[in-house]
Chain A
């Protein structure tokens, strides 16, 4: 049974509806390998003479390192190298936005699970035992575990510069307004984890030119490369990264985890080094979703119209900054939700503590505030005796509404439409209150964690808002290289980007875009690596838009060059056409003139020429947040 039996939809304006183009339900090009078990994830890699790496991590959340004795580990048969911070040739620190995290800890331990030493050995078990044999003397310190306390001014300072990693204030519209009804609430969200199924893993292979080749799971090859080059003391072009199969990401792979460790061990031993985290180490080795306390006050009219929103948000960023500054900005910008309000007073903080570092996880600051403002909306509806959907409809943002940052929402904002559709949907049965329900239907029921006792079901509505792409003036671009040539008499398009495919299907979409833009059936999507320019991060729902845009733009450039060449070579055959280039079209692998007559097949025209274009694509520029917006 093939995919052609599934319903497909063609877009009307697609000029060349080539099979497998945009608008069609196309099979994943990596799908067959994934169902047969042959798809090579970063934990499946193997090289001749390969060593296995293991990490020693701190059992304490806050401590001073008095000494590290690696001698007992080096004595173990099969161990090739044991490295500490002393062995880091370049920068001992790295970080996405603030360079504050040690590659291997020195002087101070700031969270439980911080990496201290790394080992390479001939078997993963040997490496693990050797790591455990390292003797570290600690002076244990009191940890700062509460974000409110961390920024109170009374707590020990975790990093020079203080415990406030970032404070984002937003003051919007007239302040100190009065309202008929005031609803206050304090909300707390706990830490969450992305827990992608594929553990952090990679294979580093030392190269003859003194550089290194790394095959790994990540979300952004070039940002890893930049950090690695600094840590390894190498020029970036000697750090070559190739994306291996990625078993999910969800934000957990934005920061480096094992990258520098395997690179250091490979360069020291001169041998390929592989690491695969256990599930436990994976939780230590990547950032989490920020826990937070959110204190809200909503002022509303008796009729349910929002007058003002005040929010004080304190996020716990943990021991190192990761992407905390950007998460904090998102929490502030989306603190009101998809609603119109005349006045907003927002203070969002993210704090350093001795908790595990927090960073990107899908939603990125907009989830924490979403829980708080939607809880507030329910509370307001209850206070006013109003239907919770009616209250939301009354305040729903529309096109041209203003965000509290002053940014006009100048594209579709179908908040009311979504809520109406939601209201029209049939409600799920309240099984827990009905006799004879099936425990399998209950949350956790299939895993035998409940037989229905204590389970109550209710119906709730919530709506949220989130950005696409990086913001605050970040130069958020992607790069694509597209090549057209004739192979065995057939036109073939190659698409090459550095964008991370983490399961979302970009690998499918890149092929669809190329087929639609160039009308060529055979498209080869190359493995992503650093041999082409940056694609930016596979984050913020941006790759379809930005890398998709880069592929489209590069394809259009190739098409322009092909048509220009066609005009030069064949234009004299059509002297009656005044604007050859404008009139020639590339349709289904053929050059046709403005009246649709065949001019040449692509294969006959191109012959052994290669058309190749590399293009960057940017979404429209953003600007830094203006903290005070006086809107009348």
Chain B
């Protein structure tokens, strides 16, 4: 089938999509966007998190046919031409990146959280990121990164 959707602000059309393919497969293998990661492909780990019409979803659980005409934002769409997104920079500065396989999903989920809640408590951060697994860090630096990003985004907002 032919599939048309908007990805990171750009209209994309791909042909020969097998209807059983996931949005994750389409992004990674047909659109050359491997940022959403294939860690569990069963909605458990959050590594493939993307925004679908503004809603945070696991791309592995969305069938390709469901995104016809939809607007998708992936980790590749976060950074500006020159600077990283403040959440991306905070993950680097806090040392929250090790193997990095969970990182794109966590960053997309953190952006989602901070858009809804500019000053989350630790409990709110833990709840918001409960769907994202990391096997390297033990999470404490990830929490540091979210707190750092929240402070910086708030500071930027005041200006």
Q: Residues of A at under 8 Å CB distance from B? A: 1, 3, 5-6, 25, 27-28, 30-32, 34-41, 43-44, 46, 123, 125, 194-199, 245-250, 276, 278-279, 438, 440-441, 446-447, 502-505
Contact = CB atoms under 8 A, between A and B. Distances in A.
Given A123-B18, A446-B126, A247 B39 contact: yes
Interface in B40-60: 40-42, 44-45, 47
B98 interface: yes
A44 B78 CA distance: 19
Given A27-B92, A35-B88, A503 B152 contact: no
B123 A503 contact: no
Contact of B79 (A1, A36, A46, A248): A36
Contacts of A198: 37, 39, 99, 101
Given A44-B28, A247-B37, A503-B100, A38 B76 contact: yes
A379 B45 CA distance: 38
23 contacts: A28-B92, A28-B97, A31-B100, A34-B103, A35-B84, A35-B100, A35-B107, A36-B78, A38-B35, A41-B101, A43-B34, A43-B38, A46-B32, A123-B18, A125-B18, A125-B21, A197-B47, A197-B99, A198-B37, A198-B99, A247-B37, A247-B100, A250-B135
B74 A195 contact: no
A53 to B, nearest CB: 14
B93 interface: yes
Interface in B95-114: 95, 97-104, 107
A195 B152 CA distance: 34
A504 B135 CA distance: 12
Contacts of B4: none
B84 A32 contact: yes
Nearest to B38: A43
A35 B92 contact: yes
Contacts of A32: 84, 92
Given A197-B133, A197-B134, A199-B39, A31 B92 contact: yes
Given A1-B152, A32-B92, A197-B102, A37 B36 contact: yes
A250 to B, nearest CB: 7
B33 interface: yes
A505 B99 CA distance: 8
Contacts of A195: 135
B58 to A, nearest CB: 13
Contacts of B37: 41, 43, 197-198, 247
A433 to B, nearest CB: 19
A282 B139 CA distance: 23
Nearest to B101: A247
A43 B39 CA distance: 10
Chain A at the B interface: mostly helix, strand, loop or mixed?
Answer: loop
B138 interface: no
Contact of B75 (A28, A36, A199, A248): A36
B127 interface: yes
B18 A34 contact: no
Given A31-B92, A279-B42, A503 B99 contact: yes
A30 B135 contact: no
A621 to B, nearest CB: 32
A503 B41 contact: no
Interface residues of B, number: 51
A197 B45 contact: yes
Contacts of B123: 438, 440-441
Contact of A44 (B34, B40, B102, B107): B34
A123 B21 CA distance: 11
Contacts of B28: 44
Given A25-B95, A40-B34, 9 more contacts: A35-B84, A35-B107, A197-B99, A197-B135, A247-B37, A440-B126, A446-B126, A447-B130, A504-B98
B127 A37 contact: no
A279 B98 CA distance: 20
Given A28-B97, A195-B135, A502-B99, A440 B127 contact: yes
A248 B99 contact: yes
Nearest to B78: A36
Contacts of A6: 93
Contacts of A248: 98-99, 101, 135-136
Residue from B74, B92, B100, B131 with most neighbouring chain A CB atoms (10 Å): B100
Given A195-B135, A503-B99, A37 B20 contact: no
Nearest to B137: A503
Contacts of A278: 41
Contacts of A246: 99
Given A31-B92, A123-B18, A36 B101 contact: no
Residue from B45, B78, B126 with most neighbouring chain A CB atoms (10 Å): B126
Nearest to B39: A197
Contact of A279 (B40, B88, B127): B40
A102 B89 CA distance: 46
A247 B93 contact: no
Contact of B99 (A35, A36, A196, A441): A196
Contact of A36 (B32, B88, B126, B135): B88
Given A1-B89, A37-B76, A440-B127, A197 B101 contact: yes
B99 A37 contact: no
Contacts of B152: 1
B154 to A, nearest CB: 14
A3 B34 contact: no
Contacts of B29: 46
A43 to B, nearest CB: 6
A193 to B, nearest CB: 10
